[in-house]
Amino acid sequence: MNEELIISGRMNPYIDPHLEVWEWQIPLYLFLGGLAAGLLFFAAYFVMTGKEKKYPTTVKYGPIVAFIAISIGLVALLLDLKHPLYFWQLYTTIRIDSPMSWGAWVLLIITFVSLIWIFSYLKEAFPKYNCKIGFIHNLLGIFIVKNDDETWEWKYSWLDTFEKYAQSNRYAWAWVMAVLSVILGVYTGILLSAFNARPLWNTAILGPLFLTSGFSTGAAMLMIMTKNHEERLSYSRIDLFLIVIELFFITHLFMGFLASSQVKVEAAHYFLGGEFTVTFWVNVIILGLVLPAVLEALELLKYKIPVIIPGLLILWGGIMFRFIMVEAGQIIRYLY
Amino acid sequence: MRYGMAIDTKKCVGCSDCVVACQTENNIPHGYARDWISETVSGTYPELALEIRSERCNHCDNTPCVRTCPTGASHVIEGGIVKVTHEECIGCGACVESCPYDARYFHPDGYVDKCTFCDHRVKNGQDPACVSVCPTYCMYFGDLDDPNSEVSKKIATRKTKVLAPEAGTKPQIFYLI
- For A272-279, what is the mean pLDDT? 94
- For A215-230, what is the mean pLDDT? 94
**Does B93 contact A80 at a Cβ distance shorter than 8 Å?**
yes
pLDDT tens-digit readout, A90-105: 999 999 889 999 899 9
Pairing label, strands B47-55, B36-44: antiparallel
B111 touches chain A (CB under 8 A): yes
Greater pLDDT, B74 or A124: B74
Task: Please state, for a pLDDT cut of 90, what percent of chain B lies above it.
Answer: 96
- For A163-185, what is the mean pLDDT? 94
From the candidates B51, B97, B99, which should be mutated to test the interface with A, based on the most A CB atoms within 10 A? Answer: B97
pLDDT of A336 strictly over 80? no
pLDDT of A1 strictly over 60? no
Q: What type of residue sits at position A265?
A: V
Note the pLDDT of residue A2: 60
Task: Please state, for a pLDDT cut of 70, what percent of chain A lies above it.
Answer: 98
> How far does the CA of residue A16 sit from the closest CA of chain B (Å)?
9
Residue B82 phi, psi (nearest 5): -90, 125
Which positions in chain A touch B98 (Cβ < 8 Å)? 194-197
Domain A25-331 CATH assignment equals 1.20.1630.10 = yes
Which positions in chain A touch B48 (Cβ < 8 Å)? none
Note the pLDDT of residue A140: 78
**Does A4 contact B98 at a Cβ distance shorter than 8 Å?**
no
Which positions in chain B touch A196 (Cβ < 8 Å)? 64, 98, 100, 167-168
Pairing label, strands B173-176, B3-8: parallel
Which positions in chain B touch A11 (Cβ < 8 Å)? 31, 33
Note the pLDDT of residue A16: 87
Q: Which of A65-79, A123-137, A260-274 has the lowest mean pLDDT?
A: A123-137
pLDDT of A137 strictly over 80? no
B38 touches chain A (CB under 8 A): yes
Residue A322 phi, psi (nearest 5): -70, -40
* d(C-alpha A61, C-alpha A69), whole Å: 13
Note the pLDDT of residue A133: 73
Please name each of the domains of chain B with its CATH number: 3-176 (3.30.70.20)
pLDDT of A149 strictly over 80? no
pLDDT of A325 strictly over 90? yes
pLDDT tens-digit readout, B126-158: 999 999 999 999 999 999 999 999 999 999 999
pLDDT of A318 strictly over 70? yes
Q: What type of residue sits at position A35?
A: L
Buried b (16+ CB within 10 A) or exposed e, B86-115: eebbbbbbbbbbbbbbbbbbbbeebbbbbb
User: In chain A, which residue ranges form alpha helices assigned H by DSSP?
Assistant: 25-48, 56, 62-80, 99-120, 122-125, 134-141, 157-168, 170-193, 206-225, 229-258, 262-271, 277-279, 291-300, 308-331
